[in-house]
Structure 1
Amino acid sequence: MTAPAHARTSADLIRAEEPVLAHNYHPLPVVVARAEGAWVEDVEGRRYLDMLAGYSALNFGHRHPALIQAAHDQLDRLTLTSRAFHNDRLAEFAERLAALAGLDMVLPMNTGAEAVESGIKVARKWAYDVKGVPDGQATIVVAADNFHGRTTTIVSFSTDESARAGFGPFTPGFRIVPYNDLAALEEAVDETTAAVLIEPIQGEAGVIIPDAGYLTGVRELTRRKGCLFIADEIQSGLGRTGRTLAVEHESVVPDVLLLGKALGGGIVPVSAVVARREVMGVLGPGEHGSTFGGNPLAAAVGTAVVELLETGEFQRRADELGVVLREGLDALRGHGVTGFRARGLWAGVDVDPALGSGREISERLMREGILVKDTHGSTIRLAPPLTVTADELRSALGTLEKVLGQAG
């Protein structure tokens, strides 16, 4: 008989997953049972500072009181109607999210990948109905080293072979250009181009920040060429970089904005496509949908998330604590850190490969009570909840220094 979860050790639970769970992840060997704020606790009661925050899904920390209260209140009233009927939470969510983004209309979905797929559909429909691209010929220009999700369409324009290999045939209609290269983008855009789809900061690639002026250039080019600018802010948005949106660092407003992760407050999956009215207006009944998209529980939590962001507190925290993060990482240059890229409370840290892979460094940090995640090679990502304190941040950086010193 299977032992109850509370009676099983971390090792027991990890072993129990092996025969029954698909092996599509390689998690660190920690089994989280409880969490609060920036801290998590495993089944044995060991505490860890969460410096990943669910890849930005937990921007407001674990179990933020206002978000938990919003969820509890809604659970007592109504959770799902499907979009066959209206519900009393959806209008406010859409109104406030559109206002926060500086755009007009919202298409609510669930996961980030669904938002990307939906954005692609909207762009193609706009290209045929408004731009006049011949049917079946619309193209979308994307950047190399992107990460927009793992559906079959999305991996069709990935340059990461671990995401692509074995999943063809691939969806046509995409052109890939180098990131941060306006000349290459100019050459790729033509009369068939529906949209340019980019991440304002490439997260999975290692928090790659483009040169100043790149986003402004993308905005200008897409306007001049008569196509849409789609910004995927699923990881970079909602306070992470010290602004509500990463595009705000260059005062850019895209035609279409893709949001997810933090929009669900770490409680429920919530994503959205937010767009100009003349773009989103191409969709008619039956042309796209989601049973759970815009459900009352998601709308209630999403509205509470927007309310937190409307104060500007979390954006300010990310901006101010980002200085602490950058200063701490700068002090580690030449002491195990070969380089880093940071904006707000988000950093990609390149560790000297002689000291270990990103995975090995992450495991050593875990043993010291700090949770991070590796990306490619010897790069680790730091993205703590925006509720982290300066002292907690300095402590984590001190632990990183210790781990790198021991590795040396």
Structure 2
Amino acid sequence: MTDNASLQSRRVAAVPRGVGNAFPVFADRADNAEVWDVEGKRYIDFAGGIAVLNTGHRHSKVVAAVREQLDKYTHTCFQVLPYEPYVELAERLNVLAPFKGDAKTIFFSTGAEAVENAVKIARAATGRPGVIAFTGAFHGRTMMGMSLTGKVAPYRKKFGIGMPGIYHLPFPTGDVTVAESLRALEFLFRADIEPGQVAAIIIEPVQGEGGFHPAPVELLEALRKVCDDHGIVLIADEIQTGFARTGKMFGIELSGVEPDLVTVAKSLAGGFPLSGVIGRAAIMDAAEPGGLGGTYAGSPIACAAALAVLDVIEEEKLLDKANRLGEKVKGAIAKAAQRNDTVAISGVRGPGAMVAFDIVKKRGGNEPDAEATKRVTQAAIADGLVLLSCGVHANTIRILVPLTVEDEVLEEGLGKLEKALIAANG
């Protein structure tokens, strides 16, 4: 019989250590918010494939759409022989775009590709090279994505100097205020690059890997004005926040600020590799024919899955459910934080069902405790709960349970979370 230990040995021998694994637990099958490993042990999934499974593992409508497409064709390359699912999905996303006016959408395979191409489109539209990002941001592991990412370890460590023309501003969390972030932007324009050489500013409406910190509305409004004043493209990276996770289709909608380009991926296609850039039509048309695309970009299988995902979000009212689910999760965490036998908890936060909290060294304090955070995730997995950490100090617990989770499974998972918080305090 195949077991986790033997598969882990094979994995260590065959796969480089540069790709990490949160847990040496090998999946065998999954359904909605539950996973079973190769040894038959059941887990409740509070990770959702890192925000990929807002509609759960193997949603019946997504699976049916994929099976139907499989019987037609699996690949032609959109640049050779185009196909309707790509066009239909673009049409639907254009209607959903979080800005006024005409929109166009192009598809790729991964989030990093979406980010790279958003930068290419912005550079084509403006004729400028510079791009501004933020500390704590995560935009992918390609060379451009790594360069934009505002965290050295592990994403930039050993990989040399990033791409030229990339600048970082402090993101307003902790001791950093919005005023200080904007002051840093003023300094940047004076010392390093003039506004007329900046193609784009890219920001996550809620930082993902950085610790689930929402971008303050005041900051987003100020960035919108700066972009308008200087002809800079504002890019909202919605790869982790998109498709109902925050209680809106896109996280930027919570602010009322309209971006120029939006990068999407993760939960767009319910577990199938698909990403894209949605943008203002005039900007999207700046690149020359042949300048954008990819052999697998916009896979017909993934497009079919994504069309089903959009149906599920609408039919099952997942925007509303995300808000209800998030309140229930935050309430359970706040209740656990009142106990005297758990690890110290602070900063319960997040819009909709994009929920996080910090583990700190003592109650009422704010000193990060990365070791205790690791004990929490280890205690959780031992008890059958898949739970991930994140944050610049590795002390944030993030919850990305599928929005389609059954009530009883959610309650069971929250019970396991509380037990892990207690066990980690032992």
TM over 0.5: yes
The answer to whether structure 1 residue 405 and structure 2 residue 401 are counterparts is no
3-state SS in 1 of match to 2:252: helix
Structure 1: where are the runs of 5+ without partners? 1-6
3-state SS in 1 of match to 2:13: coil
What residue in structure 2 maps to residue 114 of structure 1? 113
Contact 2:236 2:261 in 1 (8 A): yes
Q: Deviations over 1:330-368 (max 9, x none)?
A: 122354213322221122221234784322211100111
Give the aligned residue type for 1:10.
N
Shift of 1:299: 1.8
CA distance in 1, matches of 2:230, 2:335: 44
Taking a change above 3 Å as real, the CA distance of residues 310 and 398 of structure 1, as seen in their structure-2 partners, is: closer
The answer to whether structure 1 residue 87 and structure 2 residue 83 are counterparts is yes
Contact 1:333 1:339 in 2 (8 A): no
3-state SS in 1 of match to 2:379: helix
* Residue 236 of structure 1, aligned match among 241, 249, 253: 241
Give the aligned residue type for 1:352.
V
Shift of 1:186: 4.7
Contact 1:324 1:394 in 2 (8 A): no
The answer to whether structure 1 residue 293 and structure 2 residue 297 are counterparts is yes
Shift of 1:208: 1.1
What residue in structure 1 maps to residue 93 of structure 2? 97
The answer to whether structure 1 residue 141 and structure 2 residue 132 are counterparts is yes
CA distance in 2, matches of 1:229, 1:252: 10
Q: How does 1:222-301 map to 2 (within 5 A)?
A: 222-266=227-271, 268-301=272-305
3-state SS in 1 of match to 2:96: helix
What residue in structure 2 maps to residue 11 of structure 1? 5
Q: Deviations over 1:357-394 (max 9, x none)?
A: 32221110011111011224332211100112344333
Taking a change above 3 Å as real, the CA distance of residues 75 and 281 of structure 1, as seen in their structure-2 partners, is: same
Give the number of equivalent residue pairs: 393
CA distance in 1, matches of 2:117, 2:399: 29
CA distance in 2, matches of 1:293, 1:378: 36
What residue in structure 2 maps to residue 325 of structure 1? 329
* Residue 171 of structure 1, aligned match among 156, 160, 163: 163
Structure 1, 209-218 or 149-158: larger mean CA deviation: 209-218
Give the aligned residue type for 1:116.
V
Shift of 1:311: 4.2
Contact 2:2 2:39 in 1 (8 A): no
Q: Deviations over 1:54-92 (max 9, x none)?
A: 111111000000000000000000111112122132211
Shift of 1:325: 1.2
Structure 1, 28-37 or 100-109: larger mean CA deviation: 100-109
CA distance in 2, matches of 1:210, 1:299: 30
Q: Deviations over 1:93-137 (max 9, x none)?
A: 110111122451011100000000101111111111xxxx4xxxx
* Residue 370 of structure 1, aligned match among 385, 410, 417: 385
The answer to whether structure 1 residue 347 and structure 2 residue 355 are counterparts is yes
The answer to whether structure 1 residue 26 and structure 2 residue 21 are counterparts is yes
Q: Normalising to structure 2: TM-score of the pair?
A: 0.88
Structure 2: where are the runs of 5+ without partners? 173-180, 190-194, 363-368
Shift of 1:312: 6.9
Q: Once the two structures are aligned, what percentage of the paired residues are identical?
A: 33
Give the aligned residue type for 2:222.
G
Q: Deviations over 1:162-193 (max 9, x none)?
A: 21122124210111001133333355451111
CA distance in 1, matches of 2:313, 2:222: 28
Contact 1:231 1:257 in 2 (8 A): yes
Give the aligned residue type for 2:88.
E
